[in-house]
Amino acid sequence: MKDMTKTSAAAASAAKRQGASGDPLGPNSEIGRKLKQYYDDLVSEEVPDRFAQLLAQLEQASPAQKKD
Amino acid sequence: MAVSQEFKSDLLGSIPSLRAFAVSLTQNADKADDLVQETLVKAWDKHESFQPGTNLKAWLFTILRNEFYSQMRKRGREVQDSDGIMTAKLAVHPAQHGQLDLKDFRGALEQLPEDQREAIILIGASGFSYEEAAEICGCAVGTIKSRVSRARTKLQEILRLTSDGEYGPDAISAQVMGKPAA
């Protein structure tokens, strides 16, 4: 998949920062850890159907281009 | 030009991150989802201005953030209380044995001014670099750095972490809890 490159680039930049020693928000920091826990909880929440429906509606209004 | 399938599926894939960022900004789940909806509509409308191969997440976060601040301006800034009222309301008890409660943390995060909260979220949680965060917020890298630093200091104050990483009960409560004071 094409979009994998973007995702892994973001992950790499996150990993790079986490790995940096002396990072005030890194894994050795209580605030850094809580911040990630807080955010990861939010990211892993189930996405309501309304968003997939919204994109479907938008697509109907301006049909997506078929690539193949 | 029609919207590509790839763009659409990338949009779908970005929704969890967008929602997390929106909740971080609004501190309200309903407002956050409305904000994400607006963001998706805007992103769809102006998909041609997105350059394939560049960071879609950063592009979407920028749209979401602009939408958030423009809504706030329209509502005449009902939202923020940077110092004072909420700080007084919320007294956080010292964390037990370094286990900072997530609920307390959330409460502390709420007390930060938006500019500091978004900075520390972008850098400390969303995985953006300082440069990317500066671009998203439309400000200088140094500004992001100082906001992150102030946010961190403020969180430490609110949570009464004497210094980050060196937390835990003070000598007296340690004795009460039957742990030898260090």
**Each residue's pLDDT tens digit, B12-21:** 999 999 999 9
Looking at residue B67, which CATH number applies to its domain? 1.10.1740.10
Looking at the domain assignment, is residue B143 inside a domain?
yes
The angle that helices B5-26 and B29-45 make with each other, rounded to 10 degrees, is: 150
Tell me the shortest Cα–Cα distance from B17 to chain A, in angstroms. 6
The answer on B169 and B108 residing in a single domain is: yes
Give the residue from B45, B74, B103 where a domain finishes. B74
Residue B94 scores a pLDDT above 80: no
Mean pLDDT, to the nearest integer, of B71-91?
57
Give the residue from B32, B53, B74 where a domain finishes. B74
Looking at residue B125, which CATH number applies to its domain? 1.10.10.10
The residues spanned by each domain of chain A are 25-62
Q: What percent of chain B has pLDDT over 70?
A: 75
Q: Which residues of A22-52 are buried (b: 16+ CB within 10 A; e: fewer)?
A: eebbbeebbbbbbbbebbeebbeeeeeeebe
Chain A CB contacts of B11 below 8 Å: 55
pLDDT band at B50 (very low <50, low <70, confident <90, very high): very high
pLDDT of B109-125, one tens digit each? 999 999 999 999 999 99
Give the residue from B25, B46, B74 where a domain finishes. B74
Residues of chain A with pLDDT under 50: 1-4, 15-21, 67-68
User: Between A and B, how many residue pairs show a Cβ–Cβ distance under 8 A?
Assistant: 131
pLDDT of residue A53: 95
The answer on B64 and B130 residing in a single domain is: no
Count the helices and strands in chain A (H runs, E runs). Answer: 3, 0
Range name among A5-9, B29-33, B156-160 with the lowest pLDDT average: A5-9
The answer on B104 and B67 residing in a single domain is: no
pLDDT of residue B4: 87
pLDDT of residue B172: 42
pLDDT of residue A22: 60
CA-based nearest residue to B130, from B114, B117, B148: B148
Residue to mutate among B38, B126, B147, with most A CBs inside 10 A, is B126
Domain span holding position B166: 85-176
Looking at the domain assignment, is residue B42 inside a domain?
yes
pLDDT of residue B162: 57
The answer on B89 and B70 residing in a single domain is: no
Tell me the shortest Cα–Cα distance from B43 to chain A, in angstroms. 11
**SS3 (DSSP) at B4:** strand
pLDDT band at B165 (very low <50, low <70, confident <90, very high): very low
For the whole prediction, is pTM greater than 0.80? no
Looking at the domain assignment, is residue B103 inside a domain?
yes
